[in-house]
């Protein structure tokens, strides 16, 4: 089992009573609740509040062995997974390595932009935003301050919209008090989106509600505009405009996380692996693929790279592996769409569940309740609820530390 994300955990849990020995390999020792990464990046939550050690989560499952390591190669012929720590043989293999940022071949932006796909990226972005205000407090040059205090978010999907709203509130409600001598009118939060609307896949009226809310928060929206390149501290846009900016946040797309170049022949759009309706890797019936890595097509469309799809696929693969062991025919997978939702800051959100559409305060409450229930442990739910309450009642973000790992002894600063 490769990957301790949402899909991988569902496979492990689904096999807990099966006559199998499961080895779970992940490059991290924790499971991450990715929908709240933007709240780590905007100084609301601490990393430990949205992540939990995988060994802790799975300690009651007797037939699983958790290993931390990076996969370097998947040998389909010899049925071995090569890792940095040595090989692992398998009878059945489940690939659930998730996704990474997709810069669509733009090397300049890939090197300059901050992502929001893992804890390291979220912490780096949090540090960057806080450092920019610290640097601006020392600067006597208005143009330099303007550059330091400009933040561009590329991508108008849920992550981009949620981070834009959270960042604008961090500035307006918290940093305004921390930096009373800075003119907050110099701060620019700019959201750049290639299409003519936000939140693709949502109902049009919900997309329009998101636009209205973001503009009310003072966020500059550039719709129908693409980020072309970034050189010399200048972001060039497809509308001919140049933005002097140090901080670019990339939320414009993802692609499957690479495992092995040798699997490239089996990949389809966004580097996802081609699978059968049973979620078996094309041509390799002993290998299953779930989550963002699975190039599953349903009704002529690829399945969304979203958590509900990964969880449903993980549960289905566990059932199919048990059917293989019992020598029973496998069942095809069918995705059931539970809906989508996004928050746009305080008292504002959008949600669509089946035929129902909600926006504003009701959409925000639905988002809060759903995500609180999905957090991985009761302790984390309680701590997150308290953090949300403090932020809501006292207009405060408790995690405003600029911090990073210290060097080993004797290595200097």
What share of the chain in percent tops pLDDT 90? 91
pLDDT at 353: 93
Give the residue-averaged pLDDT of 291-306. Answer: 94
d(CA 98, CA 81): 17
pLDDT at 376: 79
Q: Could you tell me the pLDDT band of residue 194, with boundaries at 50, 70 and 90?
A: very high
What share of the chain in percent tops pLDDT 70? 98
Confidence check: pLDDT of 411 > 50: no
pLDDT at 258: 84
β-pair type (22-26, 64-68): parallel
d(CA 226, CA 242): 12
d(CA 1, CA 14): 12
Q: Could you tell me the pLDDT band of residue 126, with boundaries at 50, 70 and 90?
A: very high
pLDDT at 266: 82
* pTM (2 d.p.): 0.95
Please answer whether residues 235 and 242 qualify as being in contact, where contact means their C-beta atoms are separated by less than 8 angstroms: yes
Confidence check: pLDDT of 235 > 80: yes
The residue extents of the domains of the chain are 6-27+69-101+254-325, 107-252
pLDDT at 30: 97
Confidence check: pLDDT of 413 > 50: no
Q: In terms of CATH, what superfamily is 6-27+69-101+254-325?
A: FAD/NAD(P)-binding domain (3.50.50.60)
- In this structure, the chain runs to a length of 413
d(CA 393, CA 395): 6
Bridge partners, residue 151, by sequence: 189, 247
Give the residue-averaged pLDDT of 307-319. Answer: 97
Q: What is the pLDDT of residues 247-297, one digit of tens each?
A: 999 999 999 998 887 787 788 889 999 999 999 999 999 999 999 999 999
DSSP letter (8 states) at residue 178? H
Q: Could you tell me the pLDDT band of residue 407, with boundaries at 50, 70 and 90?
A: low
pLDDT at 412: 41
pLDDT at 405: 64
pLDDT at 397: 86
CATH code of the domain occupying 107-252? 3.50.50.100
Confidence check: pLDDT of 330 > 90: yes
Q: Could you tell me the pLDDT band of residue 408, with boundaries at 50, 70 and 90?
A: low
Active site residues: 162
Please answer whether residues 12 and 61 qualify as being in contact, where contact means their C-beta atoms are separated by less than 8 angstroms: yes
């Amino acid at each position: 089992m490769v990957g301790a994300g949402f899909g991988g955990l569902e496979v492990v849990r689904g096999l807990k009573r099966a006559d199998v020995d499961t080895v779970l390999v992940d490059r991290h020792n924790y499971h991450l609740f990715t929908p709240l990464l933007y709240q780590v990046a905007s100084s609301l939550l601490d990393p430990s509040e949205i992540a939990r050690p995988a060994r802790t989560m799975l300690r009651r499952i007797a037939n699983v062995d958790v290993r931390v390591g990076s996969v370097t190669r998947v040998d389909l012929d010899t049925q071995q997974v090569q890792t940095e720590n040595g090989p692992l043989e398998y009878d059945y293999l489940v690939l659930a390595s998730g996704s990474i940022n997709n810069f669509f071949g733009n090397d300049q932006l890939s090197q300059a932009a901050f992502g929001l796909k893992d804890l390291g990226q979220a912490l780096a972005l949090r540090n960057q935003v806080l450092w920019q205000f610290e640097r601006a407090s020392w600067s006597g040059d208005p143009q330099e301050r303007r550059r330091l205090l400009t933040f561009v978010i590329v991508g108008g999907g849920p992550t981009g919209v949620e981070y834009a709203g959270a960042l604008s509130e961090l500035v307006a409600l918290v940093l305004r008090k921390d930096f009373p001598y800075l003119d907050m009118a110099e701060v620019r939060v700019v959201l750049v989106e290639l299409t003519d609307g936000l939140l693709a896949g949502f109902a049009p009226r919900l997309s329009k509600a998101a636009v209205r809310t973001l503009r009310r928060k003072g966020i500059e929206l550039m719709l129908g505009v693409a980020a072309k390149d970034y050189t010399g501290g200048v972001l060039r846009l497809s509308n001919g405009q140049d933005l002097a900016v140090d901080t670019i946040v990339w939320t414009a797309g993802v692609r499957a996380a690479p495992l092995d170049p040798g699997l490239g022949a089996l990949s389809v759009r966004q580097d996802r692996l081609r699978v059968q309706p049973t979620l078996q890797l094309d041509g390799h019936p002993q290998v299953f693929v779930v989550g963002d890595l699975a190039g599953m097509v349903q009704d002529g469309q690829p399945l969304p790279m979203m958590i509900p799809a990964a969880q449903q696929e993980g549960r289905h693969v566990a059932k199919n592996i048990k059917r293989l062991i019992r020598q029973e025919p496998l069942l095809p997978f069918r995705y059931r769409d539970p809906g989508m939702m996004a928050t746009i800051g305080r008292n504002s959100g959008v949600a669509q569940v089946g035929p129902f559409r909600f926006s504003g305060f009701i959409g925000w409450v639905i988002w809060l309740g759903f995500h609180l229930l999905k957090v991985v442990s009761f302790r984390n739910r309680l701590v997150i609820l308290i953090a949300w309450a403090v932020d809501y009642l006292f207009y405060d973000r408790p995690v405003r530390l600029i911090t990073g790992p210290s060097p080993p002894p004797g290595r200097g600063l």
